[in-house]
Each structure stands twice: as structure tokens, then as C-alpha cells.
Structure 1
Amino acid sequence: MKLKTTVLLGAALAGLLGTSLASAAEEQFIGLPSYRVGPYAAGGSGLFGGWIDYMTLINERDGGINGVKLTWEECETEYNNARGVECYERMKKKGATGNTVFQPVSTGITYSVLEKVAQDKIPMVTIGYGRTDAADGRVFPWVFPMITTYWSQASAIVNYMGQKEGGMDKLKGKKIGLLYHDSAYGKESHAIMDKLAAKHGFEVMKIAVAHPGNEQQSQWLQIRQAKPDYVVLWGWGVMNPTAIKAAAKTGYPREKMVGVWWSGAEEDTIPAGTAAKGFVAAGFNVAGANYPVIADVKKFVYGKDKGNMEDKTRVGSVYYNRGVVHGIITVEAIRKAQEKYGKGKALTGEQVRWGFENLNLDDARLKALGATGFLPPLKITCADHEGPGKVKFQQWDGNQWKVITDWVDSDRPLVRGMIEESAAAYAKEKGIKPRDCSKES
């Protein structure tokens, strides 16, 4: 009798353990190399907060992705390259299947782990930042600079300026100042601006600003003397409100300043006060809480007191909504990958890579997600890891961002040509044989 009881208890325990292991296996782990401290904390806290809130929404409202709950862990990088690499190594084997995707939200960290992700078979998604030529998926199968790259953004900004002038031909003879963050991120703008200047006949005047960017007296003296027709603010963090206030002080019109998407958030304009009124910035996502997806976050996440943001007024801000975009793309890639590898199953990074490469967020899917107009429709292929290359332009009215354009295209033939040329040179240097996308499925 005692033996029988022991056997039954053992069987029951094994069953419980089996249930526990099965449950644990059906969790998808996502490592978050965030930065909530340091000079760029304003951007990091908003973006990663929005991303976490979206994953919480998927768990709370939907019970996960086809029953697979999302789990995550943050690792503080302070936007530092060495710390970013440490976080990558620390998180890559966590969770039941290892880290699903690495999204550093830092161009410097992106370059630092570029070769590691291919070796470890972990997709790296660099939405709106990173190495632009990685958009050629034939050479960079593990990197996804989605929606739009820095080169596409620069081209769309120049197209916007052309529209303002009454035609691209009107840019001939103009002078465009490029006030850039002196880092890998800032220098990513140089090659494309030189190409666009040669094509359209304008002069580009490159002016570097040293990290973190709170000293710009000499740079604005150059701008005041040169009197450029436009200034592209390729900034980050404290550099942005410093530039906007300096422009006001020197009398440079804010309407003639066009910021990139890392210079176009409330954290850039509010600290600049009244000086920011009229400032324009590009964006692959827009501000606003009047989208169904944000309404659901408020209902299912903050309504249950599970929100990540201490300051709830930031929900719906540019950086917050950008984090939601990260969440949408990550979740939809996992959902897509489950169609191939099994619904309701936790997947490896290698399997999720297939989901990113076959992602198709068309108008119908964006509507179903409550994100129509929130980000542009996005289709990724084996050869093209970027997608549409479109941006909208928003203008600060003194209190909030107002969208002033529809999605503006980049010069796709020029940009794609540069991407393929640069990727081919990288492949030759590294001895990489580009994939034949006709054989990929």
C-alpha cells in the first residue's frame, strides 16, 4: 500500500512538473537593452515604456500570442556601447528558447554586435536607426532596419524641402546646414546628404556637435554667418533643445529647422519653451493618444494599474508611441513565425527571424491592430529589410505636435542604389556570399 501511494504521488508530481515545464516552454522571452539613466534617458524611458506596455497589452487583453505569453527583462545600457555588448551577452541565452530578438535602439551598439547576431542566430531589429546598408537582406540576413533608414529619412527631408520651395529644381543653389551629433549615428547622414546635394545642386554644410551637445555656441556662430536656407537638426538628447534655443537666440527661424525623428519628440521641444514654436521634425510614427491601440493600452494596462510609465501624461507622446511601434512589429513577427512553425509554440530567434523577413502589415492589418496612420504599411522581403522608407512631418505649435503632411516618400532608386553598393562592398570585405533570394521561402 505504501509503495502504491509512493508511485501515485511520484506520478502526480511528475505530471505537475510536466505541466509546469510545458507552461514555461510556452513563454516567449524578449531581452530589452534599455537606457533609463544617463543623458538619453528621456528617449529611452519613453520608448521602452511604450514597448513594455504594448507587450503587457498583448498578455492582458489577448492572453499572449496564440496563448504564448510574452516575458521580458531589461538590461541597462546607459546608451553605452560596451554596456550594450554586455547586455547582449547576458540576455542571449535567457528564457526557454533564448533571446528572441535584440533591439538596442542605439546605432553604436548596433555596430558593436553586428557580427555577433549572425553567429548566435538572433535577429537584430533596428527600427529607424543603425547601419543603413543592412537593409539589403541578401548580405545582412540577421539585421532588419525596418520602416525607414537614415538615408531614406534624409532623402524624405530633402523632398519635403523641395515641396516647400515649390519643386525639387528650386533647391539648386540653396545652402542646407547639417547640424549633427558627432557619433556613428550622426555620421550616418553624410554619404546620403552628399549624394542628394550633387543630384539637386544644393550645398551641404556639415557642422559637428560633440556629445552630449549642451555647448553649441561656435556652431551657431557658423550658422549665423553662413545663413543657410534650411538647417537639418540631426540631434539626440539634450543637443536638441539646446539647438532650438540657440536658433531662437541667433534669430534663425524655427520653421526652417527640420529635425530627424530623434530630434522630434516632446522631450526636445518642451524644454526649449516658446523657442520651439514652429519647429518641424520627421517621424516614422506620430504623436497622439487618439488611436484605438493607445485606447486599448489605457483600458487593459493602465486600467489594471499595470502600466510601465510613472508619468502617465507621456502615454501618446512621440517616444512612447515609437515604443508601441516596436511592440507591434515584434509581436506581429512572432505571430507570423507561428504560422510556419506552430501556433501556440514558443519560438527560437532563428524561427522569429523568418517572421520578420515575411512580415506584411498592410492597411487591413494596421486597421485590425488599431494603428491606421500610426505607422506606414510595412512589407519586408528577403532582399529588402527596410520597407516603405516613408516619413510624416509634424510641427510643434507651442503645446503639441501637429501632423502637417501625409507620408512623404524618399528617393527610392537613389537610396536603394546606395544601399546595394555599400552592402556589396561590405560583403566583399568580409568574404560573404550574398543570398539568392529566389531560393528563399
Structure 2
Amino acid sequence: MKLRKIVVAATLAIAGSASLVSTAALAQAKEQYLPVLSYRTGAYAPNGTPTANGIVDYYKLVNERGGINGVKLLVEECETMYDTARSVECYERLKGKNGGATLIHPWATGATFALTEKAAVDKIPLITTGYGRSESADGTIFKWNFPLLGTYWVAADVIVQAIAQKEGGLDKLKGKKIALVYHDSPFGKEPIPLLQERSKMHGFELQLLPVAAPGVEQKATWLQIRQARPDYTLLWGWGVMNSTALKEAQATGYPREKMYGVWWSSAEPDVKDVGQGAKGYNGVTLQHGTDKNAPVIKEILAKLHDKNKGTGPRDEVGETLYLRGVVSAAMGVEGIRAAQERFGKGKVMTGEQVRWGLENLNLTQAKLDALGFKGVLRGPISTSCADHVGAGAARIHTWDGTKWGFTTDWIEADQQIIKPLVKATAAKYATEKKLTPRTPADCQS
């Protein structure tokens, strides 16, 4: 398994990407160990690389700022190729190093499914910003999972609401046809329960069209779409599947303005090769889109890339997936900071302590703005024992042929639909795994 050990402490930062250093050199006092599961090779590398760059750059930025109350971050990457077995192997290899992993970003829904039970035993929180198990929003069952900022059910619900806005109201969805073109994996299947619920409520026909990974062969799928002519098509893809779908839509003559992608299907790598052919294509965002003028991005450019300390190409800094990595890393850092507030400022936190911090986030708009996320993230982002998401609003951005731009205001996912779905699905998981929901006392610890 390919490993990259990275020291992102300001005193040891070197030009370009992360450097290889010995374990002995890494073993320094007051360092918080943060493994990074990444995929810079394989079919999904064009999408996985910018997210990894964003994570690593934010960790470097935190160290340039002086760490978390003086505690510097120690980072080690492990290449997974977006493969579940490799992800598990990386997790097992890194979890006990350097005093123990503080938290893990699995960076794949399949990996999240595979690691959920392991993390509970190892007491390592999993941060799954905008991916993973939607029912893990329920922290009374999923103590160690944190799908912060939004689940796939939030994404699907916001898309349905955005379509309804375009049509003139939810009642106008009756009799419509909505197709879901999805990656035939746990990731792609995640939105189906929410869409089925909305279909029953509003009377639209839901057509399910799975696509085998990696998604380069979709001609049969788009032949079905050409025959059925759905009023709208949702795209739940990743990597090359997304650009392939847009090219097939163009070839088929399916209007791109009738297409809505999940936040993993609506970034620069998905549309750049299609260009004007993707004009009008919509995507739900995980709060943020592309923002090269955000304060945090300007700070990363000034403190890292201007000094040859940045990770990856400068021109991708601030693009959607890069910013997704930055935002995800920031959620983990703020979990550590919250843990320090309770367990000791300036101390290295354990995974169990960080879990408490992630469950007690209170990121007001003022706090988010102070961290450099003004215009990027909307506060409050507030978690609890019962709520491991912390926020449930999103926006739609649309590709104009050359760039992404927001085309809706904030849309709140309907929790009256989502919460019962979360509760029922989490309860079913608890029954299958013979888990007892957490007690009020456990929620305080």
C-alpha cells in the first residue's frame, strides 16, 4: 500500500507537495496525528486529487497559523484508488500510529460502510461531509459517524424542491417523470429512499437507472432516457461517469438544464471536458461552490502557494472539490478545537475526546467568518447527540459553459420528511447489529 508521510508543521514545510520523512523525525511533542485516505491514482484520480490537496493545504494552513492552541498537525496520506478493500487496509495500517489516529475522512461511501463498525471498536470518529450513510445523522445509533453539513437525503430533497420551484410548486410535480442515473454502488443507491418517499407524496414517476462503475459505458442508459423522455434527470455519479453522462445527454439531445447532479457530480472535473456542451447543467452544492476569492482561499495562496509550500496546482485552489477538501478538514479541526475547550487547551486530543468535540460543535456565522469561510459556509453549524449533521440547507449552482454560478438562494431540506426516514433506517440498523441506542448519560460523556 502506498503511503506518504507528510509533516505540515510550518517549521518543516518544504516547497511543492508533501515530503517523505522518517517516522523518527515525525515523533515530536504536541502533534495531533491525522491520517488522510486519498486517491490520486486510478479512475477517480481527477476528482480525488483536488479534494486531497484541499485537505492537506488546510492542515498546512492551520500549522502556519500556529496550530490548534499550539498543537501542530501531523499528516500521513495513504493511497486507496477509491477501492474499499484498499481503504480498509489503509485504515488498519494507520489507525494506531503516532499515538493513534484522531479522526478519519474515509472519502468514499463504500469505505464508510466498511469502516463504520471498525471505527466504533477503535474509537475513531469518521467525518463524512456530504457522503456516507444518510441514517448516520442519528448519533444515538451511530456514535462515531459524522455526515457533517449534509447527507445524500438532504441533497436529494433540495434537488426535488429546486425542481418544484422551477415548475411553480410541489403540486406541479404530479404526473412528471424524474429519472435517477446512479453509480451502481452504495453511494449511488443512497438517495433512492428519499426520492421514493417524495414520489409517493407528490405523484411523480421515479425511473431508476443504475450505471456500472466506473461509468464509461452509458449508451444503453441514455437510450432508455431518449425513449422515456423524463421531465428531469438526476445524476448521482463520481469521476468519469459524470462527464460521460453529460456527453451522452448532449448526443441524445437531452436538455442539460433539465439535469441536476449531486454535489459529487457538479464540480469542475465533471464539466470542463464538455464545456459549452454542459451549459445549463445544475448541481446541488454542499453549501459552497467554487470561490477563489474566499478569505480562507486568499490566505492559503498567500501563506502556502506564494511561498512554494502549497499542494497541487495553484490554479485549482478555490475550485469546488479543492474547497470541499478545505471545508472537510476545517470541520475536523474545529472538532479538535471544541474537544480542547473541554479536555484541555494546548493538549493532544484522543479520538474519543475529538468525537465529543464533533458532537458539540457550535460554529456560529461569526466563528465561520473568522476562520475565513465568509460566503462559503452558512452558520450555525451545530451538532448534538441526536444530530451528527449540524446543518441542512444547500444551494443550486449552474454551469454557464465556462464557470459555476449560484442560481438559487438557500433551500432548507424538509426535516419532517428526512428525520422519520433517518430514525426508521437507523433503528433497523440497530436491530440488525444488536445495538442499544445511547442513553442520556452516554450523550453527556
| Alignment TM-score > 0.5, same fold | yes
Q: Return the alpha-carbon distance in structure 2 between the equivalents of residues 211 and 23 of structure 1.
A: 40
Q: Return the alpha-carbon distance in structure 2 between the equivalents of residues 71 and 429 of structure 1.
A: 37
Structure-to-structure mapping, 1:81-120, within 5 angstroms: 81-95=84-98, 97-120=99-122
Residue 431 (str. 1) matches residue 398 (str. 2): no
Partner SS state of residue 387, structure 2: coil
Give the aligned partner of residue 3 of structure 2.
Answer: none
Q: Return the alpha-carbon distance in structure 2 between the equivalents of residues 22 and 182 of structure 1.
A: 41
Answer 1 or 2: which has greater helix percent.
1
Partner SS state of residue 440, structure 1: helix
- Displacement of 1:25 after TM fit? 3.2
Residue 204 (str. 1) matches residue 235 (str. 2): no
Partner SS state of residue 347, structure 1: coil
Q: Which stretches of structure 1, 4 residues or more, deviate above 4 A after TM superposition?
A: 20-23
The answer for unaligned runs of 5 or more in structure 1 is 1-19
- Displacement of 1:362 after TM fit? 1.4
Check conservation: 1:25, 1:346, Cα contact below 8 A.
no
**Which amino acid in structure 1 is aligned with residue 38 of structure 2?**
S
Equivalent of 2:251 in 249, 252, 257:
249
Give the aligned partner of residue 41 of structure 1.
Answer: 45
- Displacement of 1:22 after TM fit? 13
Equivalent of 1:239 in 238, 241, 244:
241
Q: Return the alpha-carbon distance in structure 2 between the equivalents of residues 329 and 395 of structure 1.
A: 26
Q: Return the alpha-carbon distance in structure 2 between the equivalents of residues 438 and 256 of structure 1.
A: 49
Question: After superposition, what is the alpha-carbon deviation per residue over 1:263-311, rounded to whole angstroms, capped at 9, x for unaligned?
Answer: 00000000112211111101112111111010000011112211011x2
Give the aligned partner of residue 36 of structure 2.
Answer: 32
Structure-to-structure mapping, 1:31-180, within 5 angstroms: 31-60=35-64, 62-95=65-98, 97-180=99-182
Residue 296 (str. 1) matches residue 299 (str. 2): yes
Partner SS state of residue 89, structure 1: helix
**Which amino acid in structure 1 is aligned with residue 348 of structure 2?**
A
**Which amino acid in structure 2 is aligned with residue 315 of structure 1?**
V
Partner SS state of residue 395, structure 1: strand
Check conservation: 2:149, 2:389, Cα contact below 8 A.
yes
Residue 264 (str. 1) matches residue 266 (str. 2): yes
Structure-to-structure mapping, 1:397-412, within 5 angstroms: 397-412=400-415
Partner SS state of residue 222, structure 1: helix
Partner SS state of residue 75, structure 1: strand
Q: Return the alpha-carbon distance in structure 1 between the equivalents of residues 395 and 164 of structure 2.
A: 15
Q: Return the alpha-carbon distance in structure 1 between the equivalents of residues 378 and 203 of structure 2.
A: 30
Check conservation: 2:275, 2:402, Cα contact below 8 A.
no
Give the aligned partner of residue 5 of structure 2.
Answer: none
Check conservation: 1:394, 1:404, Cα contact below 8 A.
yes
Q: Return the alpha-carbon distance in structure 1 between the equivalents of residues 391 and 201 of structure 2.
A: 22
Equivalent of 1:214 in 209, 213, 216:
216
Question: After superposition, what is the alpha-carbon deviation per residue over 1:66-100, rounded to whole angstroms, capped at 9, x for unaligned?
Answer: 100011000000000110000000110112x3100
- Displacement of 1:221 after TM fit? 0.7
Q: Return the alpha-carbon distance in structure 2 between the equivalents of residues 22 and 183 of structure 1.
A: 38
Check conservation: 2:242, 2:270, Cα contact below 8 A.
yes
**Which amino acid in structure 1 is aligned with residue 45 of structure 2?**
A
Give the aligned partner of residue 186 of structure 1.
Answer: 188
Q: Return the alpha-carbon distance in structure 2 between the equivalents of residues 168 and 292 of structure 1.
A: 37
Q: Return the alpha-carbon distance in structure 2 between the equivalents of residues 52 and 382 of structure 1.
A: 29
**Which amino acid in structure 2 is aligned with residue 59 of structure 1?**
N
Give the aligned partner of residue 397 of structure 2.
Answer: 394
Question: After superposition, what is the alpha-carbon deviation per residue over 1:387-415, rounded to whole angstroms, capped at 9, x for unaligned?
Answer: 22221111111111011122211121111
Check conservation: 2:182, 2:210, Cα contact below 8 A.
yes
Partner SS state of residue 97, structure 2: coil
Residue 355 (str. 1) matches residue 354 (str. 2): no
> Number of paired residues?
419
Check conservation: 1:138, 1:437, Cα contact below 8 A.
no
**Which amino acid in structure 1 is aligned with residue 310 of structure 2?**
G
Check conservation: 2:276, 2:400, Cα contact below 8 A.
no
Residue 413 (str. 1) matches residue 440 (str. 2): no
Percent identity of equivalent pairs: 50
Check conservation: 1:30, 1:99, Cα contact below 8 A.
yes
Cα–Cα, structure 1 residues 21 and 220, in superposed 2: closer, same or farther, change >3 Å? closer
Equivalent of 1:228 in 225, 230, 234:
230
Q: Return the alpha-carbon distance in structure 1 between the equivalents of residues 121 and 429 of structure 2.
A: 17
Check conservation: 2:359, 2:388, Cα contact below 8 A.
yes
Question: After superposition, what is the alpha-carbon deviation per residue over 1:206-258, rounded to whole angstroms, capped at 9, x for unaligned?
Answer: 00111111111111111011111100011111011111111111111111000
Check conservation: 1:286, 1:375, Cα contact below 8 A.
no
Give the aligned partner of residue 320 of structure 1.
Answer: 322
Partner SS state of residue 110, structure 2: helix
**Which amino acid in structure 1 is aligned with residue 61 of structure 2?**
L
Residue 277 (str. 1) matches residue 279 (str. 2): yes
Q: Return the alpha-carbon distance in structure 2 between the equivalents of residues 183 and 220 of structure 1.
A: 19
| Larger Cα-atom Rg | 1
Question: After superposition, what is the alpha-carbon deviation per residue over 1:19-41, rounded to whole angstroms, capped at 9, x for unaligned?
Answer: x9998230001000100001111
